[in-house]
A = this chain, B = another copy of it.
């Protein structure tokens, strides 16, 4: 992280999506501005931002605190004085505004990937780097986006899409060079971990789900999480980015946690095990990977067995690097938002 270079770089950013992640990302940029300048010689300038109501942009940069303030008042960034443009679509913003990198944090859309997918395509085509926390476009169009980035000589980074702030993808891409990954196991979904954790303490599935919803860690419609599809999405991204396998959701055998009972958890506990929703890729004799998401009883010695409802983790079983595991405790989605900063620094620092 040391950087003794003296030159100073100004980086122009466009941010799409001003929800939980986008706003936290802006707060981090704001809070860390002096540190990023001193340590890396970098100034990030927000030249454009869009939410679902419109956009705002200015070539000299928007005031980040003002944008955060508008969102805190449940208003749109389009209300930004003199710079706002109500009704302007995110895609139009990306098309019109000159910037160095797109930060894409719009809502996950697993049917179309929009608006993120078009924004990412456009940004890459314009020669902008793209960092994103948005799984949708990657699950739907990983190969296309990666090829476009290569062709344009720019970076596409997405370390926050699997396990929030956990560097699951970076570990697999950067630290296992030359290895054969025999097996990968992950707990990439906080909602299901939280629910199973509560059920292990005696709550019924319905009670645990209600507790998760009350804490804001489950959606009103929890099906994406509890049916295992969120974990499957993350497994597809790991398959592309780490295993080199162009998988789609159709390649993943998915089973959620809705059939798990307190009796199942008690039985596992009695055997010294813990039931977790594990996303897994197992290398087959022919070199392909079997991809599954399923509730799995893990023995107490397993690195993922003792993770709590606020932790996510991954284990890589390799031929030459032994077994490497990593976990994150993420009580709020701040690390997920910080992952976009990590990705920017991996490009520019």
Question: Which positions in A face B, CB cutoff 8 Å?
Answer: 1-2, 4, 28, 32, 35-36, 39-40, 146, 150, 159, 165-167, 170-180, 241-242, 244, 301, 303, 306, 308, 320-331, 334-335, 338-339, 341-342, 344-346, 349
Contact = CB atoms under 8 A, between A and B. Distances in A.
Residue of A171, A306, A338 with most chain B CB atoms under a 10 A cut-off: A338
A65 to B, nearest CB: 18
A119 B346 CA distance: 31
Nearest to A3: B244
A298 to B, nearest CB: 13
Nearest to A1: B173
A322 B341 contact: no
A1 B322 contact: no
A36 B342 contact: no
A326 B329 contact: no
Contacts of A331: 322
A39 B39 CA distance: 35
Nearest to A240: B2
Contacts of A175: 159, 167, 170, 342
A112 to B, nearest CB: 26
Given A28-B320, A322-B329, A322-B334, 7 more contacts: A1-B177, A166-B324, A167-B171, A174-B174, A178-B338, A321-B328, A325-B328
